Amino acid sequence: MFAVIQTGGKQFTVSEGDTIRVEKLDTPVGESVTLNQVMMVGEGEQVQVGAPMLEGCTVNGEVTRQFKDKKIIVFKKKRRKGYRRKNGHRQFITELKITGIQTK
């Protein structure tokens, strides 16, 4: 069984046992989290599609790790003006292990 979920402004296709990296969730490591913004659930020929979300469907996961992602360099420049700015950004990431998918 698979599901398409939305979290952190992004969509993920998940199955039970998958590990995904999402934007930071305020849940400590080892705790379980319930994601209720499920857009599609299916198994083989049986597929349910929401408009835009499915009511009563949830995806459960366990937080395995909280960390910061690799640094992204943000460089701005205007040619011939002597304007240069260099910044870095490291996004906070939560790693989830999907433990179950519940449908209606």
What's the pTM?
0.85
User: pLDDT tens digits, residue range 17-39?
Assistant: 999 999 999 999 999 999 999 99
Spans of all domains in the chain: 2-102
One-character DSSP codes across 12-79: EEEETT-EEEEE--S--TT-EEEE--EEEEEETTEEEE-SS--TT-EEEEEEEEEEE---EEEEEEET
Tokens of 97: 């292990």
Tokens of 48: 């349910």
What local confidence, expressed as pLDDT, does residue 67 receive? 97
Asked if residue 104 has pLDDT above 90, the reply is no
d(CA 44, CA 40): 13
